[in-house]
Each structure stands twice: as C-alpha cells, then as structure tokens.
Amino acid sequence: MKQALGLAAALTTAALFCGQVHGRGVSPYLPLKQSPEIERRIEKALILADVAILTRPIPAAAVFDALPTICERDPVLCQEIRTYLVPYMRTAALTHASLSVAGTSGAATPLPNRRGMNAQSAYEVSATAFWQPSDYVLLTAGLVAYEDEVVPTGSVASVGFEYAQLDIGFRDHWFSPMTDGARLIGTQAQTMPSVTLSNYTPITRWKFRYEVFAAEMSESARIGFEGGFTTGKPQLAGLHLSIEPVPGWSLGLNRLAQFGGGARSTSFSDFIDALLRPSQFDNTGTDQDFGNQVASITSRFLVQGETPFAVYFEYAGEDTSFSDNFRLGNVAFSAGVYFPSLWERFDLTVEVSEWQNGWYTHHVYQDGLRNEGNVIGHWSGDWRALGDGVGGNSVTVQLGWTPRFGGDVQATYRTIDNESYTAPDYERGHSAELRYSRQWNDFQIGAEVEAGQDVFGETYSRAGVFIRF
C-alpha cells in the first residue's frame, strides 16, 4: 500500500491539473447491493439507454449522461431516476440510508453479496453522504454495519476528472456483468482499503474504459514462505479494460493479482514478469511463485425492441493451462439474461455459473482469495468447506413484479451443487428471498423474508422489516 499511496500522490497532481483544463470533475457512486429497489430501476434504465455496463459501482455521472435517452424511451422511469438523482446535484447531501431489523433462526450461513454478513445478523445498517467542495474534489463518508461488524464501505476521497478519477479509501470493486455473483471480485467479502484510478466517461469512439486498483487484504497467518509460513497482509492488484465496438455491445478483460504479505517481498520487475509470463513466474507450484492470479473475459449485449433485454457472459480462469501464458486453466463460465420489462409489470433475471476445481484456493496463500474470512468473488466460494477447491454449478432466478395495488415485489431463488471429491459429502444448497417495498413520502419501506438450506444440510431463516432513504 505504501507504493500505491506514493503513486496516488503523483496521479492526484496530474489528475487535478488535467481536470482543470480538459474535463468535468469527479463523480460520486451509486449504492451497490444496498438499495435493491433503485438499483433494479437503474439497471433497466441503462439498458434502455444502450449502456452495456461491465463493472460496478456505477458513477452517478454515467446515469446523468444517459438520462436524455432514458427520458425519450420511458418518461415515467426517467422521472423516477431524475428525482432519485437530485441529491447528487448538490454540494453536500445524504444520498443513501437504510435500516433493516430481522428475527433469525438456524445456521450462520454467509449470505450472498452482503459483505460478510451471515444469516444470524439481527440487523443491517448502511449510509452514504458526500461533500464536494470543488468539481475536482469529493469526500464521501459511508458505512455498512451488521451484527459484530462495522465496515466503512463508501468512505472515499476522490480527486481528478472524468477521464482519470482517483479514489482513495473503502471503494467497492465489481468486475463482472453478472448481477448476482462476480467471479473475480464483488461484494461477498468486506470492502478493502484501496487506491483506484478509473474513467467514468468513455474515451475514443470505441468507448474505452479502464479501472486499476491496489488494495490491502486482511491478515493471514498461512502465507507460504521458504518452506514454512509467514504472517501478514497480502496485497491485491486489479485491472479492468473494456471497449464498446458498437452501441450496446461491450467487451472486457479483467485481472487480479494477490502478492506480498509478511516476509514475502516483491519488486516491480517481479510484478511485470508475473503479469506477462504467469506460466514461468506464477504457476510453478512452489512457494517461490510471485503470488496468485485470476483473470476473466466478459461481455454484455443489449437487444432493443418491443421487449428489450440484456444477455451477458463471463469466462474466467484461476490458472493458466498447458504452460501457455494466454490459455486459462481451472475455468469458470457464467451466463445471464435480464428482461427489464415483461408483460408490463414484470422483470426477470436468470444467471447460471459452472466452475472447475481450484477456485479461491492457492498453495502459497492458503487462506485463498479471502478477506476477513469471506471469498472476494462469487458467493459459491463461501458455500463449501474452507480450503476445499471443488468444482460445481449454481443457478439464480430473480422475478420482479409491480402490482396494480402499488409497491414492488421481488423474489429470488438460488441453488448450488458442489462436487464431492472426499469428505464432506455436500448436499445441494437452496436459498429463497421474498421482498415487498413501497414508497412512503421520501422513504422506501417494506418487509422481507429469506430462508434456505446450505450445502452441509443446515437450515437458516430471517424475517424482518426495513426503511430506506
């Protein structure tokens, strides 16, 4: 992180200088996996605007830019989003607040995409507020809290401009077009402190986008070093590059590298060697490897018409294959389709994922790609025994309904089937959620219930109420 912070200082100066001359200032981010009602509307709106997103969180400025097309195609949705975005147009504002309380029973099963929260947490709180003293400087305070944990998610200092925004703090990263599970990095684990550089306005006619970050993971006592173990905090570097060759079709490349920690030291040349030639420097199977890398290719297609929809894919590798630096090994494939409007009052999302063995485990980093005990990628990695890199598959189905009597209903069903090589002998896991919400003055109020059976045969349930701003 020290090297990253030094780089951040240099990038800050450059970004501020360029921003004053060439572009708009920085943008705050919209909530990610904190306010499902508005997030669902924004997903629909961006499809109508032919914006094929591959990463999250979504910058508020990107939605502002899409508003003219949204308003032309769906005036009612346009007005809802325009009203929601009003606080983001101010110098300072509370942009998000949510409180839910629930009664719980059963196992402490990790819940999908909830930043480490398990099914036995009796409450969940999140909030975000910002102050923007200049177009090119933005200070955001945020938190996500649940039983026994408070995570400063969203607490970020941002400087720069539309083509180079530098974020320092607890910023989320989601490298996937999938909405219910990112294979490389998402919101399954607690948010890590990081330094991030990205653009929210695409560059060139091919709409080039990039995001690069350096983060610090939680402490691990099981980092392989010189035939034994060392204790420390591994570093995590991330890179996303994408283009949009034609409107409505985006194509992206993603890479994560876990390295360092404790007595393990790395140089910049080591990093470059492992990045460019992973088969020789990072996949030898000894503790002399540079670290742990994963990569993915992602794509999203938007189809307009009377019934618009999005179809999207993610092809990822936990390793390289056949001593080839460019051939992914231990692969995972995910696909999804989203219909934002079916029969006027419904929306439907279906996502499937299948993966080979080896995911989220490593011979050097024996806690794997985990932060504070949870995998940083797809929720399926927490629905198995620690360190058991088995293959498997999962399916998610989400159905939304806007009934005539008002409000919104969303039902979600997930199932997972792990392979069983040795003990434990996994069972098929299931989870179901049902949520009803409706507008009350400036608030969303509602009730939700979720229940399931995990892969060990243990059941869990939660039922509660919530209020969001």
**Bridge partners (DSSP) listed for residue 418:** 392
Give residue 421's pLDDT.
Answer: 83
On the question of a cis peptide bond just before residue 424, with omega within 30 degrees of 0, the verdict is yes
Average pLDDT of the chain to the nearest whole number: 91
Nearest in space to 458 (alpha carbons), one of 408, 383, 403, 392: 383
pLDDT above 60: residue 324: no
Give residue 283's pLDDT.
Answer: 62
Give residue 4's pLDDT.
Answer: 43
Has residue 414 been placed in a domain?
no
Burial of 381 (0-12, 13-18, 19+ CB in 10 A): buried
Domain that holds residue 128: 2-341+355-377
* pLDDT, tens digit, 9 for 90 and up, residues 438-458: 999 889 999 999 999 999 999
Mean pLDDT of 57-78: 95
Tell me which residue has tokens 């998000």. 96
How far apart CA 190 and CA 150 sit, in angstroms, is: 9
Has residue 463 been placed in a domain?
no
Assign 284 a pLDDT band (cuts: 50, 70, 90).
Answer: low
Give the CATH number, domain containing residue 305. 2.40.160.130
CA 207 to chain centre: 21
Assign 226 a pLDDT band (cuts: 50, 70, 90).
Answer: confident
Has residue 271 been placed in a domain?
yes
How many Cα atoms are found within 13 Å in the side-chain-facing hemisphere of 62?
Answer: 26
How far apart CA 181 and CA 174 sit, in angstroms, is: 9
Has residue 9 been placed in a domain?
yes
Supply φ then ψ for residue 60, to 5 degrees. Answer: -60, -35
Give residue 442's pLDDT.
Answer: 87
How far apart CA 399 and CA 309 sit, in angstroms, is: 14
* pLDDT, tens digit, 9 for 90 and up, residues 104-132: 999 999 999 999 999 999 999 999 999 99
pTM: 0.92
pLDDT above 70: residue 397: yes
Give residue 8's pLDDT.
Answer: 43
Mean pLDDT of 264-277: 68
Assign 171 a pLDDT band (cuts: 50, 70, 90).
Answer: very high
How far apart CA 317 and CA 331 sit, in angstroms, is: 4
- Cβ pair 236, 217 in contact under 8 A: yes
Has residue 396 been placed in a domain?
no
Mean pLDDT of 172-176: 98
Has residue 406 been placed in a domain?
no
**60-64, 185-189, 311-315, 318-322: lowest mean pLDDT where?**
318-322
How far apart CA 215 and CA 262 sit, in angstroms, is: 15
* pLDDT, tens digit, 9 for 90 and up, residues 139-151: 999 999 999 999 9
Residues with Cβ within 8 Å of 215's Cβ and at least 6 positions away in sequence, in order, are 173, 192, 193, 194, 195, 235, 236, 237, 238
pLDDT above 50: residue 5: no
Has residue 230 been placed in a domain?
yes
Give residue 70's pLDDT.
Answer: 95
pLDDT above 80: residue 323: no
Give residue 19's pLDDT.
Answer: 40
Burial of 415 (0-12, 13-18, 19+ CB in 10 A): middle
Residue % of the chain over a pLDDT of 70: 89
* pLDDT, tens digit, 9 for 90 and up, residues 18-42: 444 457 999 999 999 999 999 999 9
Q: Which residue would you say has higher pLDDT here, 279 or 378?
A: 378
Mean pLDDT of 362-388: 95
pLDDT above 80: residue 14: no
Nearest in space to 464 (alpha carbons), one of 440, 442, 437: 437
Has residue 387 been placed in a domain?
no
Assign 211 a pLDDT band (cuts: 50, 70, 90).
Answer: very high
Assign 319 a pLDDT band (cuts: 50, 70, 90).
Answer: confident
The number of folded domains in the chain is: 1
